[in-house]
Structure 1
Amino acid sequence: MKRRAFMKDTVGVAAAAGMPASADRGAPVGPNGGIGTAHVIELREGLRSLYQLDDAYGGGDVRSLARKHLKRVERIINTANYPETIGRQLQLLAGETAEHCGWLYYDADDQGRARRYWGEALTTATVLGDDNLAIMVLASLSMQASYEGRPRQGLDLARAAQERAVRYGSPGLQSLLASREARALYLMKDTSGAKKRLANSMRLVERDDRGRPSPDWAKFHGHAELDYAQGLYYTEAGHHHSAVQFLRAALDHQDRTYGRNRALYRLTLARSLVQAGEADEAAAQAVDSLEHLEEVESGRVIRRLKEVAGHLRGVDAACARNAADQLTEYVELSGAA
């Protein structure tokens, strides 16, 4: 089954999960009627479904549904009856949904809209005094800053998140944030500082079972992410053969439920293989990725695909040029050009 046909059916299921019919009908929860815990649970299940779809298929087909989910939560906040305790839960859910909208636009490479939604989420975290949401947004903003070439700001945001994470008491979460710090330091050419933070990130992830568990949003972080981070470090340093080793490990360790990440890892491996002079394998990895891209829609992945095509086109080998042509044709046919 093609990705779009599958998504059409699956998004419908997720939409149903996020649309508590009883809430829309104003079903009574008590003598005055209104919204109760069951409705919040249904709305949260809708957000969880959106996370799962994004992990597997990228955010392309999920963005519009996530926006609708956020509008639904906001409508309930502004029009329904509920006690103060339920109101706080709804506000928190709105902040988490706004954060996810920000992530989906980041993945689509629409950085302006991503910032807008993350700004909304950070405002909610501040008003509620919720450290978990604040850490999540600060971590996302740090990632975006580094991605956009603002590593100093990326470092400051990661450290602000880390200050809160120490109080949270989760080694896995601290490991994720240390890796964000390391990425920013790499881009600032602070090689020594970057190596120290990445080594610390690796030590922390090994101790993940000794402290408070990572929050759900951070559970993707683990050995695959750290192998990928190490691969990027060697890429930035120009040590492409070393980068290949870590990027292979990242692809091997990545859970298959994270379809978008696997596509990104494979293309990043292809890029490093070209840079390491392994044109034949680079071409093979790049072409193999096209089959998986039928299941994924992500602006960041398409950007990496174009980058790999450009590298392959610069190689004086028939296999590389043929692969570059196939990648370019895919981009044109997909409408992502």
Structure 2
Amino acid sequence: MASSTATASQPNRPLRPNLAFRQLRGRRSPAEFAAQVRRAAREIGERVSCDARYIGRVEAGEIRCPNYAYERVFLHMFPGRTLADLGFAPRESVRGRGPRPAEEAPAARIISPAYVTHEAPAAFEPYDKHDPHDPHDPYDTHQNHEESDVLRRAFMTGGGATVAAALGPFALTIDAAAADRPLGRAGSGEAAALEEAVRRIRLLDDRHGADGLYRRAAAPLRTAYTLLDAGTTRQTTADRLHSGAGELAISVGWLAHDSGRFDDARSHYAEALATARMTGDAALEAHAFCNTAFLARDAGRPREAVRAAQAAQRVGRPLGSARLMSLLALREAGGWAGLADRTGCEQALARAQALYARGRSEADPEWMSFYGEAELEGLEAQCWSTLGDWPRAARHARRAAQLQDPHFTRNIALYTAELADDLARGGRPDAAAAAGMRVLDLLDQVQSSRIQTMLAGTARVLLPHRRASGVSDFLDRHASAPRMA
């Protein structure tokens, strides 16, 4: 069987430990050094999720060149040094190649650890904040603007092969049953590929929304549970696989949730919750309850939303993350709003704001990277909208859209759609139409049934106001916009 890393364009390379970086760590443990990296990142406004495993990968030579966020942090920590002084390879020497022709594809098998090490997505470290306008961005699967535009168009039209490439090595695995061959025991390479798949799914959802991604993302989830069934040789690897599979189930559940497949989402969240309880993973359990609460609210089960959010808070409190508890309080507030309990909602919102004000901490889960001031404002807007306080909801929705990082295209569209609906229901049809137009401008980049449903509701509210400034233009453009299947 041919090696999965053997290609005509890039021979298999042995790992070269990064001794320079190891020397800089000195007598500190990898965990202590990772904490120092995170503190340095905060000093310059970066957000990285550095941990001991990341430091180990750098020192082992698995990460030959860091992404741009880490580069800025490292150069801030060690002023006057270059990446070469830190033991990294020149960026141009590790830039990825394009997809291989079909005839060069490796034999059907789970992608090997060597593939994860040497392919472009792992040559750079794509865990954290990145620059979407950076032509070297490791998430920009094909390394130039023309190919990036091809990726965007293929994603928006449901191009399965291109989406699979964007999901990274784990999405390219072969289903064991389809291949009619048993899987061997999983190792650290498969665990790393699974963790990478989770990160890439979240990134693609941030940029493009759920609808074009849901069906494709379900395949890595099936593979993850197949790997669990096959077993592992080490408990640490089994723990990583269970955690990764649970997080992947939540990510796929969210894609189902956001694309209106509520029954599928409920099933995936329940699967993640069962995985968390089997392994005693409190962080995963809190995450599963968090998403279950959000789903219950959207599915019209507000009392269940309150109960799930409260359960998440009980499980999550010992984890020590104020930001996590803030988000969970917002989930509870959404449930109280659905029950028309204004007092309960206001109390939960006050807790959420107070907890948020405590700031970030090293205990914050990696999956919460989306939760900033914009999301806080957006979720509060949804509460006031549910309670029928349209002017207050519109103020928070407008602020959410203004505060959102441009990378989160899907959230900008969501907050602006929320603003349009609040303005329409609050008696400001002209402003609502203008906001609706801004959402339509984003729909060539975003696929989200949630956003399209919100916009359709706004259009119905605006129908009697065709003569108001801009309303007719919005309604005509909305009516002619393509709908998702």
Q: Same-fold call, TM > 0.5?
A: yes
Deviation at 1:104, TM superposition (A): 0.7
What's 1:177 paired with? 328
Deviation at 1:290, TM superposition (A): 1.1
Deviation at 1:79, TM superposition (A): 3.4
Q: State the SS of the aligned residue for 1:219.
A: helix
Amino acid across the alignment from 1:308: T
| Structure 1 residue 241 corresponds to structure 2 residue 401 | no
What's 2:434 paired with? 284
* Distance across 2 between alignment mates of 1:276 and 1:227: 18
Tell whether the 8 Å contact from 2:416 to 2:435 is kept in structure 1 after alignment. Answer: yes
What's 2:169 paired with? 17
1:302 corresponds, among 452, 455, 480, to: 452
Taking structure 1 as reference, are residues 75 and 300 closer, same or farther at Cα in structure 2, changes over 3 Å only?
Answer: same
Q: Deviations over 1:259-281 (max 9, x none)?
A: 11111111111111112322222
What's 1:27 paired with? none
2:202 corresponds, among 47, 51, 60, to: 51
What's 1:146 paired with? 297
What's 1:192 paired with? 343
Q: Deviations over 1:180-217 (max 9, x none)?
A: 111111121221221121011111111023x4432011
Tell whether the 8 Å contact from 1:279 to 1:317 is kept in structure 2 after alignment. Answer: no
Q: Deviations over 1:220-258 (max 9, x none)?
A: 122112212332233234332222221110101112221
Matches within 5 A, 1:150-165: 150-165=301-316
4+ residue runs of structure 1 moved beyond 6 angstroms? none
Taking structure 1 as reference, are residues 195 and 63 closer, same or farther at Cα in structure 2, changes over 3 Å only?
Answer: same
* Distance across 2 between alignment mates of 1:71 and 1:305: 34
Taking structure 1 as reference, are residues 10 and 53 closer, same or farther at Cα in structure 2, changes over 3 Å only?
Answer: farther
Tell whether the 8 Å contact from 1:98 to 1:118 is kept in structure 2 after alignment. Answer: yes
Q: Which stretch shifts more, 174-183 or 319-328?
A: 319-328
* Distance across 2 between alignment mates of 1:137 and 1:87: 19
Amino acid across the alignment from 2:170: G
Amino acid across the alignment from 1:334: R
Tell whether the 8 Å contact from 1:17 to 1:49 is kept in structure 2 after alignment. Answer: no
| Structure 1 residue 115 corresponds to structure 2 residue 266 | yes
2:235 corresponds, among 72, 84, 99, to: 84
Identity %: 31
More relative contact order in 1 or in 2 (CA 8 Å, sep 6+)?
A: 1
Tell whether the 8 Å contact from 1:306 to 1:328 is kept in structure 2 after alignment. Answer: no
Taking structure 1 as reference, are residues 124 and 34 closer, same or farther at Cα in structure 2, changes over 3 Å only?
Answer: closer
What's 1:130 paired with? 281
* Distance across 2 between alignment mates of 1:233 and 1:68: 35
* Distance across 1 between alignment mates of 2:164 and 2:379: 35
Deviation at 1:6, TM superposition (A): 5.3
Deviation at 1:20, TM superposition (A): 7.7
* Distance across 1 between alignment mates of 2:389 and 2:323: 28
* Distance across 1 between alignment mates of 2:395 and 2:286: 32
2:401 corresponds, among 233, 242, 251, to: 251
Stretches of structure 1 lacking an aligned partner (at least 5 in a row): 25-32
Tell whether the 8 Å contact from 1:224 to 1:254 is kept in structure 2 after alignment. Answer: yes
Q: Deviations over 1:22-48 (max 9, x none)?
A: xx9xxxxxxxx8532233112211221
Q: Which stretch shifts more, 75-84 or 170-179?
A: 75-84
Q: Which stretch shifts more, 292-301 or 279-288?
A: 279-288
Q: State the SS of the aligned residue for 2:370.
A: coil
* Distance across 1 between alignment mates of 2:387 and 2:262: 26
Tell whether the 8 Å contact from 2:292 to 2:305 is kept in structure 1 after alignment. Answer: yes
Tell whether the 8 Å contact from 1:231 to 1:242 is kept in structure 2 after alignment. Answer: yes
* Distance across 1 between alignment mates of 2:405 and 2:168: 27
Tell whether the 8 Å contact from 1:165 to 1:174 is kept in structure 2 after alignment. Answer: yes
Amino acid across the alignment from 1:91: H
Deviation at 1:19, TM superposition (A): 5.0
Deviation at 1:146, TM superposition (A): 1.1
Tell whether the 8 Å contact from 1:56 to 1:258 is kept in structure 2 after alignment. Answer: yes
* Distance across 1 between alignment mates of 2:389 and 2:381: 9
Deviation at 1:98, TM superposition (A): 1.3
Deviation at 1:165, TM superposition (A): 1.3
* Distance across 2 between alignment mates of 1:283 and 1:105: 29
* Distance across 2 between alignment mates of 1:159 and 1:97: 23
* Distance across 2 between alignment mates of 1:238 and 1:20: 47
* Distance across 2 between alignment mates of 1:222 and 1:194: 20
Q: Which stretch shifts more, 92-101 or 148-157?
A: 92-101
* Distance across 2 between alignment mates of 1:72 and 1:234: 41
Deviation at 1:139, TM superposition (A): 0.7
Deviation at 1:328, TM superposition (A): 2.2
What's 2:76 paired with? none
Deviation at 1:299, TM superposition (A): 1.2
Taking structure 1 as reference, are residues 102 and 323 closer, same or farther at Cα in structure 2, changes over 3 Å only?
Answer: same
Count of residue correspondences:
325
* Distance across 1 between alignment mates of 2:311 and 2:472: 46
Amino acid across the alignment from 1:228: G
Deviation at 1:90, TM superposition (A): 1.4
* Distance across 1 between alignment mates of 2:290 and 2:237: 27
Taking structure 1 as reference, are residues 78 and 294 closer, same or farther at Cα in structure 2, changes over 3 Å only?
Answer: same
1:5 corresponds, among 154, 157, 160, to: 154
Deviation at 1:10, TM superposition (A): 5.7
Amino acid across the alignment from 1:244: A
Q: Which stretch shifts more, 59-68 or 313-322?
A: 313-322
2:191 corresponds, among 40, 64, 69, to: 40
